[in-house]
């Protein structure tokens, strides 16, 4: 391959980063066969919960009144508040404009109706194809909750796997964080569980996990944890992890993903938009990685304060893969800081980003913004290396980018990159 030089490295890296297909390893997107769970319309884009909390900074409307509006009325209000009455400069608001631009719409018009008209001409499957092609996202990992009745219906009729670009992750938050409400639901699904942590309950929870991992072909087990998560402890969470979740992961040979540092519903009036971030104890991850050296852990944390320690911990445990800049950290300044720091501590052995998208169009802005920052960081790092006289070729950069944008994830899973399996060009 072509050898790169100090004056050619920037262009080459930018081009290669733009061309490298992405595996988006944590999203809330759904394949279109999940029907109403698959969000892609303009009103979905505008009522993204990140934008809802930003809107409430400006309006006096009581929360209940906002929630009683139709989705379209909410979208109108958000548009007026965040885009017309103020300039849309936040990450989430500017992202909407970026989506319009990448879809070829006129961002100068400020006329919501023209955007509505544009969406009216789209179809869900056509839009998903366009967005994935333009964003360069080839594989998407969903967040799949079998306790959600509307989602369960699709899986139970044998659906959910019709589109090979979409992969499942079994999400188990209620089992760990809300057992009082989770066990009756499991019981309702025919599992012989009780409120008490009996041997039969353990067995049945494992059966539940095993059956759903199989049914979904889940790539990993996933949970979000509050910042006060302690491990090990003499509590329900530790028992659930030790006796049910880790054994289920080991049996299936899949990683356990923990997203740590959320404080749910600090303002319940905001519903989904009412969650907060919280500092956590990285020691819990350390204990897990030491207790289960054969179990792989995908970890992301929500507090900026935890990022450095988490990256250092990944130097100590190869069964720990750090991923993504999560939620409130998925903003330009934090992505830049975290990406630099991680590459400095871990080289290329990280998963620098996931999108957390809920609405398809968002793939466009989230990945364009992230690619830009990752490219800038790589250019700095390759430049340093080139300055020593080391040679860097285009093939080197291609290999490194393929690792960052997907290869590291699939290798950690011990699975081949699926697009290559599908015979698509790399």
Judged by beta carbon, residue 54 or residue 400, the one nearer ligand RAT is 54
Judged by beta carbon, residue 141 or residue 379, the one nearer Zn ion is 141
**Are 303 and 278 spatial neighbours (Cβ–Cβ below 8 Å)?**
yes
Query: Rounded distance, CA 402 to CA 22, Å?
Result: 8
Interface positions with ligand RAT (CB under 6 A): 28, 224, 259, 272, 327, 356, 358
Shortest distance, position 190 Cβ to ligand RAT, whole Å: 27
Query: Rounded distance, CA 401 to CA 394, Å?
Result: 11
Judged by beta carbon, residue 201 or residue 306, the one nearer ligand RAT is 306
Shortest distance, position 154 Cβ to ligand RAT, whole Å: 20
The pair of structure tokens assigned to 330 is 């998925």
Shortest distance, position 222 Cβ to ligand RAT, whole Å: 8
Query: Rounded distance, CA 147 to CA 141, Å?
Result: 18
Judged by beta carbon, residue 233 or residue 272, the one nearer ligand RAT is 272
Q: Which does 167 bind (CB under 5 to 8 A by kind): ligand RAT, Zn ion, none?
A: none
Q: Which does 224 bind (CB under 5 to 8 A by kind): Zn ion, ligand RAT, none?
A: ligand RAT
Burial class (CB in 10 A: 0-12, 13-18, 19+), 90: middle
Residues 6+ apart with CB under 8 A from 183: 193, 194, 195, 201
**Residue 356 near Zn ion by CB under 5 A:** yes
Shortest distance, position 354 Cβ to Zn ion, whole Å: 8
> Residues touching Zn ion: how many (CB under 5 A)?
1
**Residue 275 near Zn ion by CB under 5 A:** no
Judged by beta carbon, residue 53 or residue 383, the one nearer ligand RAT is 53
**Residue 24 near Zn ion by CB under 5 A:** no
Query: Rounded distance, CA 7 to CA 22, Å?
Result: 27
Judged by beta carbon, residue 153 or residue 272, the one nearer ligand RAT is 272
Judged by beta carbon, residue 270 or residue 348, the one nearer ligand RAT is 270
Q: Which does 327 bind (CB under 5 to 8 A by kind): Zn ion, ligand RAT, none?
A: ligand RAT
Residues that bind Zn ion (CB under 5 A): 356
């Amino acid at each position: 391959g072509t050898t790169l030089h100090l004056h050619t490295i920037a262009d080459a890296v930018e081009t290669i980063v733009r061309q490298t297909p992405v595996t988006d390893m944590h999203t809330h997107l759904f394949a279109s066969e999940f029907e109403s769970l698959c969000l892609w319309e303009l009103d979905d884009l505008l009522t993204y919960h990140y934008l809802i909390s930003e809107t409430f900074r400006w309006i006096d409307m009581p929360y209940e009144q906002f929630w009683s509006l139709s989705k379209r009325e909410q979208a109108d209000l958000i548009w007026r508040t965040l885009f017309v009455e103020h300039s849309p400069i936040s990450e989430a608001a500017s992202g909407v404009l970026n989506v319009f631009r990448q879809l070829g719409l006129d961002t100068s018009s400020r006329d919501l109706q023209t955007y509505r008209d544009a969406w009216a001409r789209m179809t869900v499957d056509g839009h998903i194809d366009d967005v994935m092609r333009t964003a360069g996202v080839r594989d998407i990992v969903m967040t799949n909750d079998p306790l959600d009745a509307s989602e369960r219906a699709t899986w139970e009729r044998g659906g959910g796997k019709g589109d090979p670009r979409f992969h499942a992750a079994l999400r188990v938050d209620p089992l760990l964080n809300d057992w009082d409400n989770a066990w009756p639901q499991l019981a309702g699904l025919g599992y012989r569980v009780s409120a008490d942590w009996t041997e039969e309950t353990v067995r049945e929870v494992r059966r539940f996990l095993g059956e759903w991992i199989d049914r979904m072909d889940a790539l990993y087990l996933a949970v979000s944890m509050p910042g006060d998560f302690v491990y090990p402890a003499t509590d329900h969470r530790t028992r659930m992890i030790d006796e049910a979740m880790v054994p289920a992961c080991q049996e299936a040979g899949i990683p356990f993903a923990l997203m740590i540092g959320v404080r749910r519903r600090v303002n319940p009036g905001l519903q989904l938009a009412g969650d907060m971030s919280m500092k956590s104890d990285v020691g819990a991850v350390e204990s897990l990685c030491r207790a289960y050296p054969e179990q792989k852990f995908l970890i992301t944390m929500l507090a900026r304060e935890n990022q450095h320690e988490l990256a250092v911990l990944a130097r100590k445990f190869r069964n720990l893969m750090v991923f993504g800049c999560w939620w409130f950290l998925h903003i330009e300044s934090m992505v830049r800081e975290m990406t630099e720091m991680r590459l400095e501590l871990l080289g290329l052995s990280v998963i620098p980003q996931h999108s957390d998208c809920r609405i398809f169009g968002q793939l466009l802005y989230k990945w364009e913004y992230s690619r830009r920052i990752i490219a800038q960081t790589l250019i700095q790092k390759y430049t340093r290396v080139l300055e020593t006289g080391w040679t860097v070729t285009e093939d080197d950069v291609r290999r490194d980018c393929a690792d960052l944008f997907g290869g590291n994830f699939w290798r950690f899973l011990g699975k081949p990159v699926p697009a290559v399996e599908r015979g698509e060009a790399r």
